[in-house]
Structure 1
């Protein structure tokens, strides 16, 4: 009997050790809001249910294995949820028209040296400059920093990098990413994505570098990226900086991001500033302003967005919110383009998702709920 008890105790101890060494987490965000948009083109106002407003709805798996000596193996699989319709995954280009894990699919090693991950991953700027986004990367489908700063507007940036024409450049497939450990608050990242095309190593490739500092109340980051088209005949470069300062009663954040197309000299720049103000233990107000400009080619355009957001935490995992957005553009979005993006005849919709074709301004009111699991 004693031997049996001892054997069971030893087995339990081994199982406990194995459990401590390996972990797998299922997680996600389900977010939806009701939006009322005024002056939505010639047809008037519009009411919609939109997924992923405060944060993009997503689901995923992540795990680590402790290899000893401070070394860990890890993986991450994350996909978009379109919970307003029940769909999952978005178009990521060649080779698949849709991807189950469009947001991330990576495996790597982490230790005292930093981390190395391989697969489909965010651009370096998302994890550095993106942390200072005035809205905290909220309203990703309409945010100038996400659409233009992070190059998520496929009709404008899809010809560059690994994803193929018409698709977002915000994430890159076939990539290798290194992120350093923190040295007194300082760190850096390096990333390269292979175009995997015969006849030229630079075809459809991405290369990027970032640097950041996070110490006490101050956070500062910068990122640089360059992407080639599939024939290696054109180049897209992006530069971004961001900073945030935490005070006793507010957090001030600001970013400036600029990207340029070599063949046309087209430049799109986004400047944003915002402030988070806790007004109660469970409630935070956010005010943010973005100015987006296009210049360098034969088209000069600009757009402004103004945001006011209120968040109320019902718990650590559930939040309700209300938001107001005002958007103006210098050009009436082209009606003859024949695309939902309003992209055609040389005019780019710099207020994509808010100002509709046939308009040059709009207001949007949103109320919603977000749950994290």
Structure 2
């Protein structure tokens, strides 16, 4: 009987250790704000989700496999908490994907990280970290819409996303290296899975990044084709970041070009964070977006944000912004201030107040 009890105790300890070697985390962001936008000919007031950061939820897990090797997975979807729905439409025809932001599984260890599934393009994980306003106001940010190629009316047909925007790619393999003397790199390939061709609807990307102390720099390159394999979209981007005790400064430059029309869209941005009190941070950002090649247009955005941290998880914010374009926006042109300046206007002012909670 004594031996049996000892055996059960040992077995219980082993099972406890086995369970301790794996974990699953539920995480997310709930963000909502009241926004008032005044255009040349109209104004509107809305309650919108995902202002400071896109509202999301997800499951992230890992399991220890021994030898510093881990199996990992990540499932993440958009939350539209202003209406209570989850997931957004992707692809053509549009279908709601529950985990539209990420759906990947892979391995990580001393060799780096290798993942498979639906994933962000490489620029998001490198240059995106230097975005002037920390990827706030994603629905109107030039870096999200044009640098990350998330404007559906412009970048829909390219890459392995069934007609969806280029920001996230289906059927992809991504490798991220460990740091070597503060330098790392990443490679990614998304397969178009078109019969008889490996060149149709593909994505290929590479990035490099450098971080030491308060300084960081990153660069990304990508090329992707449409379903014919003839039209190719190429892009490159650079990001610089300095994060000090008294201030932080971030700057990005990106450009992408379509070979069939020579359309080029470029975005330059710069922003500064000023911590004026332990819980209060002020952010100022400027973006200049240019469309050249097949057409010529120019747009600027000027953003000011005040964020107050109620706790480590909850933040209140107030923002004012202004956007201007060279020409009056029409229903048929590429709108360089998408979602900010309305059709029939060439400028707009925006005021937003909201709260964001991490869990």
4+ runs deviating over 6 angstroms: none
Aligned length: 359
Partner of 1:182: 179
Cα 1:3–1:35 shift into 2, 3 Å:
same
* Secondary structure, aligned partner of 1:163: coil
Normalised by the length of structure 2, the TM-score is: 0.97
Kindly state the Cα deviation for residue 20 of structure 1 after the two structures are TM-superposed: 2.1
Is 2:114 aligned against 1:128?
no
String of CA shifts for 1:125-163, please: whole Å, max 9, x gaps.
Answer: 100000000010111001000000100111100011112
* Secondary structure, aligned partner of 2:261: coil
Structure 2 unmatched runs, 5+:
none
Is 2:194 aligned against 1:208?
no
Partner of 2:71: 73
Partner of 1:360: 346
Partner of 1:38: 38
CA RMSD of aligned residues (A): 1.3
Partner of 2:312: 316
* Secondary structure, aligned partner of 2:97: coil
Q: Distance in 1 between matches of 2:105 and 2:7?
A: 36
Conservation of the 8 A alpha-carbon contact between 2:157 and 2:165: no
Q: Distance in 1 between matches of 2:7 and 2:136?
A: 54
Instruction: Flag the structure with higher strand content.
Output: 2
Q: Distance in 2 between matches of 1:11 and 1:148?
A: 56
Q: Distance in 2 between matches of 1:312 and 1:88?
A: 27
1:307 pairs with 297, 303, 315, which one?
303
2:51 pairs with 32, 35, 53, which one?
53
- 299-308 or 12-21, which moves further after superposition? 12-21
Is 2:274 aligned against 1:274?
no
Structure 1 unmatched runs, 5+:
338-343
Q: Distance in 2 between matches of 1:4 and 1:53?
A: 60
Kindly state the Cα deviation for residue 10 of structure 1 after the two structures are TM-superposed: 2.2
Q: Distance in 2 between matches of 1:248 and 1:112?
A: 32
* Secondary structure, aligned partner of 2:16: helix
Partner of 2:117: 119
Is 2:81 aligned against 1:83?
yes
